[in-house]
Every structure is written in structure tokens, then in C-alpha cells.
């Protein structure tokens, strides 16, 4: 079962897995600016960065693998 999905709020992700913010930033997806967390879901954040649906699915797979290792 995945840890996160497209519907996971970014705020919940960062609250539960703070290290995910740095991991996302390394991949070019900034979800925290000036101390404020993006208000929306991971799917919305990535769609706003012009990821295609299949790219979002692949990326979330990598993120879930990373979080499962921690």
C-alpha cells in the first residue's frame, strides 16, 4: 500500500515525513517557501509543474520507495 498518493495533502506529507521536503526540492519540486507549505495535494503541486499524469505516477512511486526506506 502506498504511503502517499496524488490525493495526499502536501501539508500532511511534510508533517508526517519532514525529510520529504528536501527530497522533493532536490528533484525540483519546491513545496515549502518562506516557511509556508503548499496548500493542496501532491497531484495539484505536480500538475502545476506541468508533469503529465504518467510522470506523476512514476514520481509518486519513487517518493513512496524513498519514504518506505526511511
Taking residue 1's Cβ as centre, other Cβ atoms within 10 Å add up to 4
DSSP code string of 19-36? HHHHHHHHTT---EETTE
Encode pLDDT of 18-70 as tens digits: 999 999 999 888 888 878 888 999 999 999 999 999 999 999 999 999 999 97
Please choose, from the candidates 40, 39, 42, the residue with its C-alpha nearest in 3D space to the C-alpha of residue 23: 42
SS3 38: coil
pLDDT of res. 30: 86
Paired with 68 in beta bridges are: none
What's the DSSP call for residue 7?
T
Amino acid at each position: 500500500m502506498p504511503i502517499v498518493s496524488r490525493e495526499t495533502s502536501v501539508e500532511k506529507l511534510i508533517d508526517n515525513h519532514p525529510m520529504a521536503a528536501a527530497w522533493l526540492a532536490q528533484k525540483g519540486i519546491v513545496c515549502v517557501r518562506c516557511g509556508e507549505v503548499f496548500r493542496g495535494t501532491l497531484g495539484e503541486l505536480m500538475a502545476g509543474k506541468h508533469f503529465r499524469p504518467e510522470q506523476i505516477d512514476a514520481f509518486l512511486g519513487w517518493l513512496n520507495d524513498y519514504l518506505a526506506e526511511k
